[in-house]
Amino acid sequence: MKVAVVGATGMVGNVMLQVLREQNFPITELIPVASEKSVGMEMEFGGLKCKVVSLDTAVSMKPDVAIFSAGGDTSLAWAPKFAKVGTVVIDNSSAWRMDPTKKLVVPEINGDVLTKEDLIIANPNCSTIQLVLALAPLHKKYGVKRVVVSTYQSITGTGVKAVQQMENERAGQNGEMAYHYPIDKNCIPQCDVFTDNGYTKEELKLTNETKKILDPAINVTATAVRVPVVGGHSEAVNIEFENDFDLDEVRRLLHEQPGITLKDDPTTNNYPMPKYAEGKDDVFVGRIRRDFSQPNTLNMWIVADNLRKGAATNAVQIAWTLVNKGILSI
């Protein structure tokens, strides 16, 4: 299969290539795609040397699938051009997520909705993916009414520039700033830009994407915070259900949910942390307990590697879903 990775030289693009290699995705030809300044650069994949090409060249090569991690503007401009030549696009940006004509997919939840007509498929936001994967089995059983989520998001979600900023601060060096403020030894209650209603775009993604993937009737309110962490996003989640629940059953449902690993034993201080989620594909859930301040309400803590399940792994899983459904041919 001919596979293009758009944004191959970026942080998510590199992880995308790593996941494709780890999962032995059936690639006969890899097409790494990046900006003009990177064209001609050599990249290694599976022991083979591949030259980076431009977007124009990649479209002319008519790949079977193109996985995009190059920002919303690039996706809006180029995804339709790939689709026009018959390439299936899996897009990691926010460009197509809320388009009513495009599917927003977490394969363990709604991979069954994909058809051969879906030439542009949206990968959800990193913080949304880990949230909805934990909510899905509980919503099916108890009916989620309202979610209050506070996120503690890794600097890797911003990109290389943010990682460099923190490294500079820790080394006592001046350099380019990814954020308005220092990030080392700090928490910044702003992920993405503010909108007119006082919420950031990241917070609205959590709200709107959860509704689209799970149920438009679910009410979600979010606060997204950038923290000086590398390795994954963490979320403190308060869930109000339509119906009462049993804690043992909640743990069983989460344990049985594909893609979830339960780490929930306070007696041994066993709970999810980004340090231990880094490099793993699962979503980790723990600190499960009843909220005694109101009926039918649960607290839990969700952690995942934002570059893997939050981006690259989910995109590759979408591609595998297309293979397994016979939409992409090996």
> Letter for the amino acid at 143?
G
How, if at all, do strands 88-91 and 48-51 pair? unpaired
Say if residue 24 is in the same domain as residue 133: no
Average pLDDT over residues 246-258: 98
Residue 14 lies in a domain: yes
User: Tell me, what's the pLDDT at 330?
Assistant: 85
Say if residue 84 is in the same domain as residue 202: no
Give the three-class secondary structure for 308. Answer: helix
Say which CATH number the domain at 275 has: 3.30.360.10
Contact, 212 vs 104, CB < 8 A? yes
Structural domain count, the chain:
2
Average pLDDT over residues 255-268: 98
Query: Does residue 72 surpass a pLDDT of 90?
Result: yes
Query: Does residue 73 surpass a pLDDT of 90?
Result: yes
Contact, 242 vs 143, CB < 8 A? yes
Average pLDDT over residues 284-293: 98
Query: Does residue 46 surpass a pLDDT of 90?
Result: no
Neighbours of 300 (CB within 10 A): 23
The C-alpha torsion from 11 through 17 and 18 to 23, rounded to 10°, is: 140
CA distance 291 to 298: 5
Domain that holds residue 221: 127-306
Residue 47 pLDDT level (bands cut at 50, 70, 90): confident
Residue whose structure tokens are 């049993």: 246
Give the three-class secondary structure for 287. Answer: strand
> Letter for the amino acid at 268?
T
The verdict on pTM exceeding 0.75 is yes
Residue 98 lies in a domain: yes
Average pLDDT over residues 253-268: 98
Residue 303: CA atoms inside 13 Å, Cβ hemisphere, count?
26
Neighbours of 90 (CB within 10 A): 26
Say if residue 27 is in the same domain as residue 98: yes
Active site residues: 126, 233
Average pLDDT over residues 290-306: 98
Say which CATH number the domain at 46 has: 3.40.50.720
Task: Tell me the two tokens of residue 107.
Answer: 């394969």
CA distance 211 to 15: 28
Give residue-wise pLDDT tens across range 92-101: 999 999 999 9
Say if residue 157 is in the same domain as residue 270: yes
Say if residue 97 is in the same domain as residue 198: no
User: Tell me, what's the pLDDT at 189?
Assistant: 98
| 8-state DSSP, 53 | B
Task: Tell me the two tokens of residue 226.
Answer: 């950038």
Say if residue 134 is in the same domain as residue 94: no
User: Tell me, what's the pLDDT at 161?
Assistant: 96
Say if residue 112 is in the same domain as residue 141: no
